[in-house]
Chain A
Amino acid sequence: MSIGSTPLKFRVTIDPDRCMNCGRCIENCSYGVYRREADSIRINSRSCVACHRCLAFCPRDAIEIEEKPGDYRSHPVWTREIREAVFNQAKTGKIISGGMGNALPYPIIFDRLVLDACQVTNPSIDPLREPMELRTYIGKKPSSLSIRERPGMDTELLTKLSSNLQIETPIMIGHMSYGAISLPAQQAMARAVHRIGTFMGTGEGGLHQSLYPYQKNMIVQVASGRFGVDIDYLERGAAIEIKIGQGAKPGIGGHLPGEKVCADVACTRMIPEGSDAISPAPHHDIYSIEDLKQLVHGLKEATEWKKPVFVKIAAVHNSAAIAAGIARSGADAVVIDGFRGGTGSAPVVFRDHVGIPIEAAIASVDAKLRQQGIRHKVSIIASGGIRQSADVAKIICLGADAVYIGTSALVAMGCRVCGTCNRGVCAWGIATQKPELTKRLDPEANAVQVENLIHGWTLELAELMGAAGINSIESLRGNRDRLRGYMLDEGLLNVLDVKTVGA
């Protein structure tokens, strides 16, 4: 007996009174929802993913998309998603994959943390009138300085500092490879970070030639597939990141299907055109922490100890101890990627069930490094689930030096978080390599949007700091006194080392 049709996920309707029959919906939909039959536009709602491309381009607001127009008998255990996963696997016998980040309704810790502000006993600072410093340095710091002062002579600094990345706002863009996203999407973000004075990651996809003008703002990535890595690539980047894991799929590797490996992607990744690009789960030269140390040193040696080396791991139960190991490996920064981090494609079982939230991971990593007296040896970069400036402020209070954003940068370019990146036909031209779709992006216009977003967050961050009576970001970092937990349980309050509201 066949399983048959399941209820529609979305129902698309066109208001005939409003529709002018222009056909823009047909042109724009890359999922095949619309087709023209004779003089009318026909709709196949079953193909709709709610990416809203049609909605955005309908000149008459004639289109309506209704979510879950029909549903199963409600059941608290056997939810719609569970039932459909069973149907799916009963039909295919395969691992189910999905895009974007974790789609289960876990409580969001950020939304249960509130920030502080000054009243009377200390004045809040107005960022419009007083200096407000968000400049951040990413990299190793000495534990103390040796300074020689002699009367009549210039004061001399005897300690030699490691190279640090200087950023004017603690917001960077994380690693999304050419392959996972389109070239114009990368170009737009590269222009944005270049103008703002911050950085973005290349992902494990190499560095396309058209991005060379922005290379001083690019962090190049060395991941388990080593795609696109050669000495030229390493030397172009401002920093090098070793990717061990990703928040959306901790413990597993990556897979870029052959159909996304067009000639240009193939060249940039240095692999044959049309071949699957498979990044193994572990690095096959890293089977222990001391192997990681060798790779860190190898990369530093290759680039003459001029570039900071980051190590990125997924936020997992033991992140704190792992980060302590990384801090001793010679790495300059550790990136912790929380379980809400996005992905072009991941097995849903990993995306939704493996890893821990970034808030708890950062709190425990920062605490562990302090406990061991090695916090200065690495900067902490938080990524995975940073949605707004308040999240940035809160995660810095919990101990992060800076953040990587991913999904929010894509949303700034039009992404509607439909979660269908894995299909490779992104109607917004972001998560696709199809030329007819990628040309929908205008690198310049989108660069302005990404720039605006980061600028807006930076302004809000400055206001939040000013309200808290803080004029320098280093006084916010790890300042958990300025956070309170609202309806968080005692165990979590202890992990976050934050008091409850009212206390």
Chain B
Amino acid sequence: MCGIIGVIDRNRQLMDGGKIRDSLAMMDERGSGEGAGYVAYGIYPDYKDYYALHVFFDNIRENKAPLDNLLEKWGTIVHDEQIKTYEQPNIRKVHTPWRYFFRPDRSLMPKSTTPDEDIVTHLVMKVNAEKNGALIFSSGKNLGVFKAAGWPEDVANFYRIEDYKGYLWLAHNRYPTNTSGWWGGAHPFNLLNWSVVHNGEITSYGTNRKYIESYGYKCTMYTDTEVVAYLVDLLVRKHGLSEEMAVRALAPPFWAEIDRMPPKKQELNRAIRLTYGPALMNGPFAICVANENSLVGFTDRIKLRPLVSGESGDRLFISSEESAIRRIDPDVENITMPKAGEPVIGRLYS
């Protein structure tokens, strides 16, 4: 189960989180009240050049100082503060959410072509693998993840999600199986500017994890979804593939279809499958992936999970349910159900 929704305003107009909350709550049938989350892009314009690290601390007194020291070792903490939360009867506040605005010292990663990203990735992997009472669950620029264990509306109200205004949102309503009630296990999953929400189960997880770990990523969240964020980061950021090509690698056409393609296209698709076979994601899934410029939705190769998209003006919606989209905009147009493995892509105009 699980319900997902993604929306992008291609003209960068900001939307507050209130309607996203209502939309996600439309899909309570798809969740179990044990996890929900939101990510919004464009929410920190004053700090847009710094990495916004969102952290769950188990215990501020004990766990915060070591993280501060680590961050200061690798760069500068420009500003940090507790993320405001508002008590909800149905949410037990087991973590203290915190945000840092962080500038990495790129001289510490001299051989890298993307030193800032590499430092932040390193820090996220290190902190999350060590499990010392701190978990970095959001690490991009001008964006932030807000999640907890609870129903979508409670989690939204816990953070007062309507106070945040973003041009791109992803949200997720969780029906957990792998890890129940763990805040870190709620979606969205994020690394740098990549965020993922996912409905389904990845049966190729073992293969994907081994593949991604050989590139230095560490899977630490006890769930299959985080691997999607890392795969997209690898394929798009490190290997330079476009979003279309990355989706093609993750959910490629069947050989029977490739064999019927014209020679050039066939060669390209065969090369993608040969090269990225270990990145192919199997099992039932519908996924929305976002970065600062785009929103991509796609399903597994035989579409075992639902996904619909719709448009209204500059806005593109992708969701598990049409009703969730209509909750945001009743006049939505072009409701379509993308074919298996076929991506729906929305990009900013500029």
Binary flags per residue of A457-477, CB closer than 8 Å to B gives 1, else 0: 000000000001111101111
Which B226-247 residues have a C-beta within 8 angstroms of A? Answer: 238-242, 244-245
B-binding segment of A127-135, A181-189, A350-358, A423-431: A127-135
Asked whether, in the complex, the Cβ of A131 is within 8 Å of the Cβ of B204, the reply is no
What is the chain A residue whose CB lies nearest that of B204? A475
Number of contacts between A and B (CB, 8 Å)? 122
B112 within 8 A of A: no
Which A248-301 residues have a C-beta within 8 angstroms of B? Answer: none
Say whether, besides A118-B203, A478-B206, A471 and B301 are in contact (CB < 8 Å).
yes
B83 within 8 A of A: no
B18 within 8 A of A: no
Which B282-334 residues have a C-beta within 8 angstroms of A? Answer: 282-284, 301-302, 304
With A and B bound together, what is the CA distance between A156 and B242 in angstroms? Answer: 13
Chain B residues near A145 (CB-CB < 8 A): 239, 241, 245, 271-272, 275-276
Chain B residues near A370 (CB-CB < 8 A): 210-211, 213-214
B228 CB to nearest A CB, Å: 14
A371 within 8 A of B: yes
Asked whether, in the complex, the Cβ of B284 is within 8 Å of the Cβ of A123, the reply is yes
What is the chain B residue whose CB lies nearest that of A369? B214
With A and B bound together, what is the CA distance between A470 and B256 in angstroms? Answer: 17
Which A344-402 residues have a C-beta within 8 angstroms of B? Answer: 370-371, 373, 375-376, 397
B113 within 8 A of A: no
Say whether, besides A147-B268, A376-B275, A475 and B207 are in contact (CB < 8 Å).
yes
Which of A130, A142, A478 makes the CB contact (< 8 A) with B278? A478
Asked whether, in the complex, the Cβ of A482 is within 8 Å of the Cβ of B214, the reply is no
Which of B205, B215, B242, B276 makes the CB contact (< 8 A) with A481? B205
Chain A residues near B240 (CB-CB < 8 A): 144, 146
Chain A residues near B242 (CB-CB < 8 A): 147, 149
Asked whether, in the complex, the Cβ of A123 is within 8 Å of the Cβ of B304, the reply is yes
B267 within 8 A of A: yes
B342 CB to nearest A CB, Å: 16
What is the chain B residue whose CB lies nearest that of A144? B239
A157 within 8 A of B: yes
With A and B bound together, what is the CA distance between A42 and B304 in angstroms? Answer: 68
Asked whether, in the complex, the Cβ of B275 is within 8 Å of the Cβ of A122, the reply is no
Asked whether, in the complex, the Cβ of B241 is within 8 Å of the Cβ of A147, the reply is yes
Chain B residues near A164 (CB-CB < 8 A): 274
A497 CB to nearest B CB, Å: 9
Asked whether, in the complex, the Cβ of A470 is within 8 Å of the Cβ of B268, the reply is no
What is the chain A residue whose CB lies nearest that of B242? A149
With A and B bound together, what is the CA distance between A131 and B264 in angstroms? Answer: 24
Which of A121, A142, A475, A477 makes the CB contact (< 8 A) with B275? A142
Asked whether, in the complex, the Cβ of A469 is within 8 Å of the Cβ of B203, the reply is yes
Asked whether, in the complex, the Cβ of A122 is within 8 Å of the Cβ of B284, the reply is yes
Say whether, besides A154-B264, A471-B282, A141 and B275 are in contact (CB < 8 Å).
yes
What is the chain B residue whose CB lies nearest that of A116? B203
Chain B residues near A118 (CB-CB < 8 A): 203
With A and B bound together, what is the CA distance between A149 and B243 in angstroms? Answer: 11
Asked whether, in the complex, the Cβ of B207 is within 8 Å of the Cβ of A479, the reply is yes
What is the chain A residue whose CB lies nearest that of B267? A157
With A and B bound together, what is the CA distance between A472 and B202 in angstroms? Answer: 13
With A and B bound together, what is the CA distance between A69 and B315 in angstroms? Answer: 84
Residues of B within 8 A of A (CB): 177, 200-201, 203-207, 209-211, 213-215, 238-242, 244-245, 254-256, 264-265, 267-268, 271-278, 280-284, 301-302, 304
Asked whether, in the complex, the Cβ of B275 is within 8 Å of the Cβ of A479, the reply is no
Asked whether, in the complex, the Cβ of B203 is within 8 Å of the Cβ of A122, the reply is yes
Asked whether, in the complex, the Cβ of B203 is within 8 Å of the Cβ of A147, the reply is no
Chain A residues near B282 (CB-CB < 8 A): 469-472, 475
Asked whether, in the complex, the Cβ of B283 is within 8 Å of the Cβ of A122, the reply is yes
Chain A residues near B283 (CB-CB < 8 A): 122, 469-470, 475
21 pairs from A and B in contact (CB 8 Å cutoff): A122-B304, A131-B254, A131-B302, A137-B274, A142-B275, A144-B239, A144-B275, A145-B241, A145-B245, A145-B272, A149-B245, A154-B265, A157-B264, A157-B271, A370-B211, A469-B284, A472-B280, A474-B204, A475-B203, A475-B281, A477-B278
Asked whether, in the complex, the Cβ of A157 is within 8 Å of the Cβ of B278, the reply is no
A209 within 8 A of B: no
What is the chain B residue whose CB lies nearest that of A140? B274
What is the chain A residue whose CB lies nearest that of B177? A121
Chain B residues near A137 (CB-CB < 8 A): 274
Chain B residues near A131 (CB-CB < 8 A): 254, 256, 302
With A and B bound together, what is the CA distance between A371 and B214 in angstroms? Answer: 6
With A and B bound together, what is the CA distance between A383 and B12 in angstroms? Answer: 58
Which of B244, B271, B301 makes the CB contact (< 8 A) with A159? B271
B35 CB to nearest A CB, Å: 15
Say whether, besides A141-B275, A474-B277, A468 and B203 are in contact (CB < 8 Å).
yes
> 9 tightest CB-CB pairs across the interface, nearest first?
A481-B206, A475-B204, A474-B277, A475-B282, A479-B206, A469-B203, A122-B201, A144-B239, A479-B207
Chain A residues near B254 (CB-CB < 8 A): 131, 133
With A and B bound together, what is the CA distance between A25 and B323 in angstroms? Answer: 78
A364 CB to nearest B CB, Å: 14
Asked whether, in the complex, the Cβ of A155 is within 8 Å of the Cβ of B268, the reply is yes
Say whether, besides A145-B271, A145-B272, A470 and B255 are in contact (CB < 8 Å).
no
Which of A121, A159, A161 makes the CB contact (< 8 A) with B201? A121
Which of B209, B267, B274, B281 makes the CB contact (< 8 A) with A141? B274
Chain B residues near A161 (CB-CB < 8 A): 271, 274
A480 within 8 A of B: yes
B252 CB to nearest A CB, Å: 8
Asked whether, in the complex, the Cβ of B204 is within 8 Å of the Cβ of A373, the reply is no
Say whether, besides A370-B210, A370-B214, A371-B214, A147 and B245 are in contact (CB < 8 Å).
yes
With A and B bound together, what is the CA distance between A475 and B301 in angstroms? Answer: 12
Chain B residues near A397 (CB-CB < 8 A): 206
With A and B bound together, what is the CA distance between A157 and B261 in angstroms? Answer: 15
Given A157-B271, A474-B277; 20 other pairs, CB 8 A cutoff? A121-B201, A122-B200, A122-B283, A141-B274, A142-B271, A142-B274, A142-B275, A145-B245, A149-B242, A155-B245, A157-B264, A157-B267, A159-B275, A164-B274, A471-B282, A472-B301, A477-B278, A478-B206, A480-B210, A482-B206
